[in-house]
Structure 1
Amino acid sequence: MEIKDQIVLITGASRGLGAEIAKAFGREGARVIVNYNQSEKKAQEVVESIGDRALAVQADILDKEQVQAMFDQAEMHFGQAVTTVINNALVNFKFDAANRNTAETVTWEEYQMQLEGSVKAALHTIQAAYEGMCALKFGRIINIGTNLFQNPVVPYHDYNTSKAALLGFTRNMARDVGAHGITVNMVSGGLLQKTDASASTPDEVFEMISENTPLKQVTTPEELADATLFFASPWSRAVTGQNLVVDGGLVMD
C-alpha cells in the first residue's frame, strides 16, 4: 500500500519527534492521526500544518480503553481502519545527563514507568489496530527506539532498558503477526538536535556527538522522521523484526 493511501496514527505527536513524523507522513499524502495527552494546542498546530487530512485525538496511551476509543474515532472519521501505527510517545522522561538517576538512586518504580511507556503502550496500540489490519491484510507498526541501549554513553537506566525491552517486543510481535501482512519494525535515533526532551542537554554534549559521528553532525528530528517513512513504504514490504539505527553512523551495528 502506498503511503498516500495509508491512515497513520502517531502517539505523542503534538511536539518534538512525533510532530515531525506526523508532518512527514502528511507531506507524503497520508491521512494522519495526531495523538496527544495534554498538549491540545500544539496538536492542533500540527494538524493545521498538514491540512484536512489530519485529525488530533486525545488519549492516554497507558489506558487501554482510551486507546481503543481513539482508534474507533479515527476509523469513523476517515471511513477506514488505521493501517499504520508509530509508537513514539515518551512518558515522563527528560534527557538530562547531569541530573539523571544513577545505579544507586534509580528505583523500580522508575523502571516500571518507562517499561509501561514503551512496551505497555505499544501493546495497547497494536491490539487496538490488529483486527482492522487483519481485515485489510496490511499493517505497519513502527516503534521508536534509541541507540542508547546498544551504546549507553549516558546510562539512563530506566529509559534505555525499556527501549531494549521494546526491541524484544518488536521481534516477537513481528513473528506472530506477519502471516496477516503486518510488519513490525523499530527506528532508533540518538540524541536529537533539538527537542523538548533533549532541551536539558548541554551544547558540549551535542558537540561531542557531532565530532564522533561519521557525518559530523547531530541527527535532527526531521531526519529521523524521514527514516520512519521507509518502514511504511512499499520498499520495505519484505522487512520485519528489524531495528534501523538512524544516528549518522555514531553506533554501527
Structure 2
Amino acid sequence: MTESTAHATALPLDEQIVLVTGGARGLGRAISQAFLDAGACVLVDYHASRDEAEALAAAHPERAVAVRGDVRDRAEVEALFAAGESAFGGPVTTVINNALVDFSFDGDGRAKADEIAYGAFAAQFAGSVEGALNTVQSALSGFERAGSGRIVNIGTNLFQNPVVPYHDYTAAKAALLSLTRTFASDLGPRGITVNMVSGGLLRTTDASAATPAAVFDAIAASTPLRRVTTPTEFADAVLFFASPWSRAVTGQNLVVDGGLVAD
C-alpha cells in the first residue's frame, strides 16, 4: 500500500486471514474462535500448546491451521507468515499480538519491588515488544499485497489502575501501548491501523487460574456491570478493531473490563 491507497476499504471479517499469536489457549483461543465464528481464516500460533492448537485447527479444517512459532524469533515469525499464505492462498491481513511469555497472575506470588530483577523485565519485553515488532515487520509486505492491514495488540488496564503491581508485565505492556501509537502514526499513510485492547483480570484463563475466587468476586463488585469480563467478551472488542466498522480508528487503547477503569 502507498499513500494513494491508504483509504482502501477494510476487508470484511469473513475475507480476512488472521494470525493470532498464542492463539491456542486462554484468551488467545477465545480470539481465534471469535474470528473463526465470523468466517475468517485463522493461523493459530503456539509455542508449547501443540495439542490445543491442533485440536482447534482440526475443528475447522478448511479455515484454521496450527503452526508453532516463537514470536521472539524473527525467523520463526517469518515462517509463520509463509505457512499462513501456503495454507490459505493469500497473505495474512490481520495480526493479533496476544502471546504472553511465561507469566501467571498470582498477586501473592509476584516479585516485589525490592526483589525483582531486570531479567524479569527483559523476558516480558521480549515477548510483548520484540514479539510485536517481529510480527508487524513480517506482515507489511503481505498487507501491501492484500490492500488491507489490521494490527491489534493486547494490553492491560493495569496502566491506569495498578491494583496489583506486576512490575515486569505492566512495564512491557506499557511499552507495547507506546509502540501501538507510534506505529499507528507511521503506518497510517499506508492504510494500516494499529490499536490496542486492554483488559483486566479475565474469568478465567490459564494465566488467571492462580487468582483466588475472592479476588474475582471483589473485582466483580467494583464494576458497574457487577461481573468479571470473560475471554469471549474481550474477543468481541478485538473483532471490532479488525472489522470495517473501525476503519477510521487507529492508535487507540480500548479498555474492556466491565467499566472498572475509565481510560
TM superposition score normalised by structure 1: 0.98
Aligned partner of 2:245 in structure 1 is 235
Instruction: Return the alpha-carbon distance in structure 1 between the equivalents of residues 160 and 175 of structure 2.
Output: 12
1:102 to 104, 109, 112: 112
Alignment of 1:62-81 (within 5 A): 62-81=72-91
Structure 2 stretches of 5 or more lacking a match? Answer: 1-10
- Give per-residue Cα distances to partners, 1:175-228, cap 9 Å, x unaligned: 111111110000001000011100110011001100000000000001001110
Structure 1 stretches of 5 or more lacking a match? Answer: none
Aligned partner of 2:137 in structure 1 is 127
* In the alignment, structure 1 residue 49 sits paired with structure 2 residue 32: no
Instruction: Return the alpha-carbon distance in structure 2 between the equivalents of residues 148 and 46 of structure 1.
Output: 30
- Give per-residue Cα distances to partners, 1:50-70, cap 9 Å, x unaligned: 342100011111100000011
Moved over 6 A (4+): none
Instruction: Return the alpha-carbon distance in structure 1 between the equivalents of residues 239 and 259 of structure 2.
Output: 19
Displacement of 1:150 after TM fit? 1.3
* In the alignment, structure 1 residue 13 sits paired with structure 2 residue 19: no
2:230 to 220, 223, 230: 220
Q: Is the 8 A contact 1:71 1:82 kept in 2?
A: yes
Aligned partner of 2:208 in structure 1 is 198
Q: Is the 8 A contact 1:27 1:50 kept in 2?
A: no
Aligned partner of 1:209 in structure 2 is 219
- Give per-residue Cα distances to partners, 1:161-180, cap 9 Å, x unaligned: 11111000000110111111
User: CA RMSD for the aligned pairs?
Assistant: 0.8
Instruction: Return the alpha-carbon distance in structure 2 between the equivalents of residues 212 and 48 of structure 1.
Output: 40
Aligned partner of 1:61 in structure 2 is 71
TM superposition score normalised by structure 2: 0.95
Instruction: Return the alpha-carbon distance in structure 2 between the equivalents of residues 19 and 75 of structure 1.
Output: 21
Displacement of 1:135 after TM fit? 2.5
Aligned partner of 1:35 in structure 2 is 45
The one-letter amino acid paired with 1:115 is F
The one-letter amino acid paired with 1:186 is M
* In the alignment, structure 1 residue 155 sits paired with structure 2 residue 161: no
Displacement of 1:44 after TM fit? 1.1
The one-letter amino acid paired with 1:217 is R
- Which structure is richer in relative contact order (CA contacts within 8 A, separation 6 or more)? 2
The one-letter amino acid paired with 1:59 is G
Instruction: Return the alpha-carbon distance in structure 2 between the equivalents of residues 23 and 47 of structure 1.
Output: 10
Aligned partner of 2:8 in structure 1 is none
